[in-house]
């Protein structure tokens, strides 16, 4: 099974995969190379999840700042 790039995954799928990786790493029965690969994947998932959360917070902030009579403004996606 091919793994999706973290940026192409939903936030929920990212969290689910992170939970699975943590469980596997906590068991402690992985070879060092496998553990490092899973750790690296976990870091990538964490960064992607943090970015998605940050974008959602920005959208919510924009929505809360505006009242019903304010003109709509474009959402500017942050760049890395």
The pLDDT tens digits for 15-28 are 999 999 999 999 99
Packed helices 32-65 and 11-27: angle between N→C axes, nearest 10 degrees: 150
The residues, any chain, with a CB within 8 Å of residue 49's CB and separated by 6 or more, are 6, 11, 14, 15, 18
Location of structure tokens 């959602």: 56
Q: Give this prediction's pTM.
A: 0.73
Instruction: Compute φ and ψ for 55, nearest 5 degrees.
Output: -65, -40
Q: What pLDDT, in 10s, does the model give residues 20-65?
A: 999 999 999 999 999 999 999 999 999 999 999 999 998 888 887 7
């Amino acid at each position: 099974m091919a793994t999706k790039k973290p940026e192409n995954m939903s936030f929920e799928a990212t969290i689910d995969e992170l939970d699975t990786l943590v469980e596997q790493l906590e068991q402690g029965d992985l070879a060092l190379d496998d553990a490092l690969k899973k750790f690296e994947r976990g870091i990538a998932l964490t960064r992607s999840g943090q970015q998605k959360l940050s974008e959602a917070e920005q959208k919510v902030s924009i929505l809360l700042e505006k009242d019903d009579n304010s003109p709509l403004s474009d959402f500017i996606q942050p760049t890395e």
